[in-house]
């Protein structure tokens, strides 16, 4: 596995970040809030957004000085306030190298250490085997399968809900 770090994204990294993000294969596994094509302006707006919370909720994934993806925790509100949603993506050349599995591990530790939540969950598309395996390797358990609830790129997809709970 390549060495990597999680840290706040920098506006100076917008161009390279957008080059990695501008990939249809990444877009196909994310919500429509993640645009395609993904421009440098999209990256700048996103990076600015990541600096609005303290503690940080979204961090860049860096190999050396290069931002190759992002991972974030998105708090819920009201009766769901003890839950936080995990979202992430990584540049395609880094798929299958174990980076995302380790990034998820670090983000789970960070989430339970910095937020008053008891459950961290993720909702991968049913066909996204790499994401499912990364979650399972980190102790996430499948809680639910919703058939054909995601409509992406003109096709229906299954939605899976994986979660991990704070240890008592």
For residue 73, give the H/E element and its range: strand 66-75
Cβ contacts of 16 within 8 Å, gap of 6 or more: 66, 67
Contact between 53 and 115 under an 8 Å Cβ cutoff? The reply is: no
Q: What is the pLDDT of residue 167?
A: 83
The model's pLDDT over 73-129, given as tens digits with 9 standing for 90+, comes to 999 999 999 999 999 999 999 999 999 999 999 999 999 999 999 999 999 999 999
Burial of 111 (0-12, 13-18, 19+ CB in 10 A): buried
Token pair of 10, please?
A: 């920098």
Contact between 31 and 40 under an 8 Å Cβ cutoff? The reply is: no
The residues facing 87 across adjacent strands are 72
The model's pLDDT over 127-151, given as tens digits with 9 standing for 90+, comes to 999 999 999 999 999 999 999 999 9
Q: Where are the domains of the chain?
A: 5-118
Average pLDDT over the chain, rounded to an integer: 96
CATH among 3.40.50.1950, 3.40.1280.10, 3.40.1210.10, 3.40.630.30 for 5-118: 3.40.630.30
DSSP letters of 107-153? Answer: HHHHHHHHS--SEEEE--BTT-HHHHHHHHHTT-EEEEEEEEEEEET
Bond prior to 129 in cis (omega within 30° of 0): no
The model's pLDDT over 3-36, given as tens digits with 9 standing for 90+, comes to 999 999 999 999 999 999 999 999 999 999 999 9
């Amino acid at each position: 596995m390549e060495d990597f770090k999680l840290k706040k994204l920098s506006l100076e990294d917008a161009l390279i970040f957008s080059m990695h993000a501008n990939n249809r294969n990444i877009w196909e596994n994310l919500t429509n809030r993640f645009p395609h094509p993904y421009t440098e302006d999209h990256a700048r707006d996103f990076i600015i957004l990541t600096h609005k919370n303290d503690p940080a909720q979204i961090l860049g994934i860096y190999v050396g000085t290069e931002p190759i993806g992002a991972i974030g925790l998105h708090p819920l509100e009201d009766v769901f306030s003890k839950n936080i949603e995990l979202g992430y993506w990584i540049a395609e050349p880094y798929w299958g190298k174990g980076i995302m599995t380790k990034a998820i591990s670090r983000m789970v530790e960070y989430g339970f250490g910095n937020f008053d939540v008891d459950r961290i969950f993720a909702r991968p598309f049913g066909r996204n085997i790499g994401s499912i395996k990364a979650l399972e390797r980190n102790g996430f358990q499948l809680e639910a399968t919703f058939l054909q609830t995601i409509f992406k790129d003109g096709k229906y997809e299954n939605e899976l809900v994986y979660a991990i709970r704070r240890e008592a």
